[in-house]
Amino acid sequence: MLLVKKFLNMESLKRYGVPFVVLALLFLLSFGAGDRGNGLLVYWILFFVLAAGLAIFSNGPLFGPKAERGLRLSYFIPLLVFLLFASINRFYVDSFGAFASCLLLFVGLFSSFLVGYFLRNSEVFKPKCLFFAILLGLALLVSVNLIANLASYPLFYPLTHSSYVYFYEGIPHRIGNESNYLYNFTLTLVKPDVAVGPAAVLASGAASLFYWKKENKAEIAVNALTSAIGWLFLLSMVDVKGICLSLLAILILVLYRYLKVKEEPGKVPTIAFWTVIGLGLLFLFLVILNGAFEFSFISSSPLLDAIFNSGRFSSINKTVSALFHGGSYAGASTGDVILSILFGVYHDSYTVFGGGSPLPITELSNFSFEFEILLEGGFVPFVAMIILILYSTGSLRRYLIRGKDDAGKAGLVALVLGIFFFYTFGYDALPFAVNRFTASSYFSPLFNSFWPLVLLLILGYTYTPGQEEKKVMEEEVKA
Amino acid sequence: MKTKRLPLLLLSFFLCSCSTNPLYAPPAYDGSLFEENYLRNYDEIGDKECSLIGERVVFQRATEAYEDGEAYFFDGDQESQSDSFPSFGMKDRYPELFTYTDADGKVVPYERLDSIASRLDDEGERSFGKDHALAHVDEGFKQGVLSKLYNGQLECHSWYANARVQMEEEGFKTLLPKTLVDGDVFALSLRGNTSENTEARFVTADVVLRFYVDHEGVYDYYELVYEKAMFPINSGGSAVSLVGSSLLDAFGESFFEKGIVGYAISFEMPEEGYFEGYENYRFSYAEEGPFFGFSVYEVMFIDSSWK
């Protein structure tokens, strides 16, 4: 009775209620509950209610000192531009009909960021709480997928039995093309990459094992067990990409743990960093130009053709080509082309890169969520997203190295890296397993996936302004 | 002891793989070469086969060739309508099987005789094949290579090897996922195929069926032969023969007493009745072609009861 009274005390509710609800939502999201149909719409609404509630009932400042305002805008503006034009655009409004759904998507995604942002200074809402909520949800999802796979297929089947088939209702199904996945409480057959994604993110969480103190035995045990489930799944699927990307995320966190990394990186690392970024952007620019104009000097060179026109670059070329042709194979007006380039194409558009029959864009997967954003929203949200990624890299870096080493902080950064790495190289917009008589429907990375909500909440929670920004802030406060 | 628990736990994890749906190595009866696609050595009865129950029952000319619901047959290069076909076909013998009662209570003929697989549960026009497919009886009929015979698809519909089970004279023997305890009419949809394109024609063969009863650990069997059944070859994807008869007429009421647990299909080729040039065709055990095979598309126990 005393416990109940204590819990129902308004002060307790304000202190523990919202964080508890957020943690529960994170757990359910990571487990994939409500991931089908209109289920995500419920999360969008809940996050909006939580963000609004936090904004209204908060005692302290939500957005930090006024002096920080200009600097916050440098992060918030690309975030808002990205979310607005990635959510509300010709692709979605045309295909999903209701403008209201797109507006709810935008509100939901922004609210999830705000919830994390508003709770970033909460004494109750500690980093390790978020970390474990997500980890446990993912562990439950991945363990169900793992057990289902072990019961259905031989061990290491993608390596040993990839081309074997089973017959169901007379139709042959190649087991190398499928994996079990618990999609909103229903076991569904998906392509292997889709099932590997949550496991790769879960496996990245092992990075925080290098940060726990010896006395945190319970946390170490839970962290180790849950991450081990991710590794078991990756190993059972013999997924080299997932293993490498998870190891990369762990390696980065381990380097930060054991190297004396300064917050001010110094000239040489800064120049090296921006050189790499510059080269990457230059390469991206070339890829986009080739997709737009189909350079003959690239297609006629075996080496350049292999780099720019094969593999997943083939899909990216088709995406860019769709934008630069207004999504039409019969020719589009200049105005339509400009609109497509800036704001994306309609859902029923086509792409014609490389000749051949026009391909409906909903039968195209770029295997990278960034390029799906490009296809759906055009270059405006795409460029905003790249700026956001660069800012977030700095923010996460500062979050990690500022203050004491904290395993919860490291775990959150590891999860972000795991999500970013895997879904940059392994997002499949056509997730369902196919056979020669079926095709998968198109799955949008924003509309049909729980990852953006989780990722944005973590980014909001871990938002950390730079030292220069802090200096300006302190000077203005003194003034 | 504690250190041994984790490996044991992991080991139990890896021993989970226990799917009941068998896997088939490539080409899985869908190779580019005709001779790769025979179902061979498929015998689930094994050496438990015992003895014939009663006598071999023979039906003569229980065949009707049909295409898209309209019966026809080839006479050399000519096509004729069903009126001139000998009346041993299933539609003539069992006309009530090819009708159903619609939502208004009227008895109407099926619009189609078969259904393309993968639409087994689709709503749409009714078909004889879809309504009587054994896949509706139990999940076990949907698994394994023989699930092609239980999915309601009686014709090719350009599915080629995915629609049929291609076999040699020895055929196959299988156990049923459930025990057949009642029913009457048995039917199968079949045709012939060759590795070469030739003119459309008929081939004649005896279709030999065995129905197995579990008798104290061994399988006694009833035997039924459709003598000189005619079925088309190389006549395009949609021509098959629907071959069948009443099991009660053949074997009497005692047929279902103990329940039927399995069946076997095989073929015997009488010397007369082969199409011209048959003597040049081979089954897959020959080194060279051209090759010939029997193709069964569907096996049906119509209006049956199972346990």
Share of chain A above pLDDT 70, in %: 87
Q: Is A266 on the interface with B (CB under 8 A)?
A: no
CB-nearest partner of B19 from A151, A169, A172:
A151
Question: What would the pLDDT profile of B128-170 be if each residue is shown by its tens digit?
Answer: 888 899 999 999 999 999 999 999 888 887 788 888 999 988 9
Q: Is A38 on the interface with B (CB under 8 A)?
A: no
Q: Is A167 on the interface with B (CB under 8 A)?
A: yes
Cβ(A26)–Cβ(A134) below 8 Å: yes
CB-nearest partner of B118 from A152, A153, A169:
A169
Helical (H) or strand (E) element with B249 = helix B247-251
Q: Is A172 on the interface with B (CB under 8 A)?
A: yes
Backbone phi and psi for residue B210, each to the nearest 5 degrees, phi listed first: -125, 135
CB contact under 8 A, A152 and B19: yes
DSSP annotation string for A281-302: HHHHHHHHHHHHH--HHHHTSH
Confidence of residue B72 (pLDDT cuts 50, 70, 90): very low
Among B5, B23, B145, the strongest candidate for a mutation testing the A interface, having the largest count of A CBs within 10 A, is B23
CB contact under 8 A, B143 and A175: no
Length of chain B: 307
CA count, 13 A, side-chain hemisphere, B286? 13
Contact residues, chain A, for B16 at CB < 8 Å: 147, 150-151
CB-nearest partner of B147 from A155, A164, A168:
A168
The contacts of residue A305 (CB under 8 Å, 6+ apart) are A298, A299
Q: Is B142 on the interface with A (CB under 8 A)?
A: yes
pLDDT above 60 (res A217):
yes
Question: What would the pLDDT profile of A388-442 be if each residue is shown by its tens digit?
Answer: 999 999 899 889 888 776 899 999 999 999 999 988 988 888 998 877 667 788 8
Question: What is the Cα–Cα distance from A16 to A393, expressed in whole angstroms?
Answer: 30
How high is the pLDDT of residue B79?
37
Backbone phi and psi for residue B116, each to the nearest 5 degrees, phi listed first: -75, 135
Q: Is A258 on the interface with B (CB under 8 A)?
A: no
Question: What would the pLDDT profile of A149-177 be if each residue is shown by its tens digit?
Answer: 999 999 899 999 999 999 988 888 999 99
CB contact under 8 A, B162 and A151: no
Q: Is A166 on the interface with B (CB under 8 A)?
A: yes
CB contact under 8 A, B21 and A168: yes
Q: Is A233 on the interface with B (CB under 8 A)?
A: no
Question: What mean pLDDT is reported for chain A?
Answer: 86
Contact residues, chain A, for B148 at CB < 8 Å: 167, 170
Question: What is the Cα–Cα distance from B115 to B101, expressed in whole angstroms?
Answer: 18
How high is the pLDDT of residue B70?
40
Higher pLDDT, B279 or A314: A314
Give, as one character, the DSSP assignment of residue B57.
E
- Residue B106 to chain A, least CA–CA distance (Å): 31
Closest CA to A416 of A389, A455, A461: A455
Closest CA to B242 of B102, B156, B54, B113: B113
Question: What would the pLDDT profile of B201-259 be if each residue is shown by its tens digit?
Answer: 777 788 899 999 988 778 899 999 887 777 777 665 567 778 888 899 889 889 999 89
Please, where are the H alpha helices in A153-216?
157-160, 192-204
How high is the pLDDT of residue A112?
95
Per-residue pLDDT averaged across A31-35, rounded? 81
How high is the pLDDT of residue B256?
92
pLDDT above 80 (res B263):
yes
Confidence of residue A273 (pLDDT cuts 50, 70, 90): confident
Question: What is the Cα–Cα distance from B112 to B90, expressed in whole angstroms?
Answer: 15
Mark B49-70 as b/e (b = at least 16 C-beta within 10 Å). Answer: bbeebeeebebebbbbbbbeee
CA angle A348, A353, A358 (to 5 degrees): 40
Per-residue pLDDT averaged across B250-269, rounded? 91
How high is the pLDDT of residue A476?
56
Q: Is the peptide bond before A158 cis (omega within 30 degrees of 0)?
A: no
Give, as one character, the DSSP assignment of residue A207.
G
Q: Give domain limits for chain A.
A: 2-140+367-372+380-478, 146-258, 290-362
- State in Å, rounded, how far the first CA of chain A is from the last one: 52
Contact residues, chain A, for B142 at CB < 8 Å: 168-169
Per-residue pLDDT averaged across A189-195, rounded? 92
Cβ(B31)–Cβ(B37) below 8 Å: yes
Residue of B nearest to A225 (CA): B6
Higher pLDDT, B196 or A196: A196
The contacts of residue B48 (CB under 8 Å, 6+ apart) are B217, B218, B219
How high is the pLDDT of residue A39?
80
Confidence of residue B111 (pLDDT cuts 50, 70, 90): confident
How high is the pLDDT of residue A264?
67
Question: What is the Cα–Cα distance from B242 to B91, expressed in whole angstroms?
Answer: 9
pLDDT above 90 (res A36):
no
Among A160, A167, A236, the strongest candidate for a mutation testing the B interface, having the largest count of B CBs within 10 A, is A167
Distance from chain centroid for Cα A67: 31
Question: What is the Cα–Cα distance from B69 to B82, expressed in whole angstroms?
Answer: 11
CB contact under 8 A, B118 and A437: yes
Q: Is B118 on the interface with A (CB under 8 A)?
A: yes
- Residue B16 to chain A, least CA–CA distance (Å): 5
Cβ(A400)–Cβ(A262) below 8 Å: no
Lowest mean pLDDT, pick from A96-100, A294-298, B25-29 = A96-100
pLDDT above 90 (res A380):
yes
Per-residue pLDDT averaged across B31-42, rounded? 88
How far is residue B226 from each of residues A233, B249, B292, measured CA to CA in Å?
54, 14, 20
Question: What would the pLDDT profile of A67-88 be if each residue is shown by its tens digit?
Answer: 566 667 778 899 999 999 999 8
Query: Most confidently modeled of A333-342, B167-176, B219-228?
Result: B167-176
How far is residue A363 from each of residues A117, A359, A368, A440, B269, measured CA to CA in Å?
37, 7, 15, 8, 50
The contacts of residue B197 (CB under 8 Å, 6+ apart) are B234
Residue of A nearest to B20 (CA): A152
How many H-runs (helices) and E-runs (strands) does chain A carry?
A: 22, 6
pTM of the model: 0.85
Where does A270-357 show beta strands of DSSP type E?
A: 350-351
How high is the pLDDT of residue B95?
80
Higher pLDDT, B83 or A391: A391
Encoding tokens for residue B13?
Answer: 């994890």
pLDDT above 90 (res A223):
yes
pLDDT above 90 (res A144):
yes
Q: Is the peptide bond before A192 cis (omega within 30 degrees of 0)?
A: no
Encoding tokens for residue A290?
Answer: 């080739």
How high is the pLDDT of residue A89?
86
**Residues in a beta bridge with B262:** B175, B212
How high is the pLDDT of residue B22?
87
pLDDT above 70 (res B76):
no
CB contact under 8 A, B162 and A171: yes
- Residue B22 to chain A, least CA–CA distance (Å): 6
How high is the pLDDT of residue A403?
76
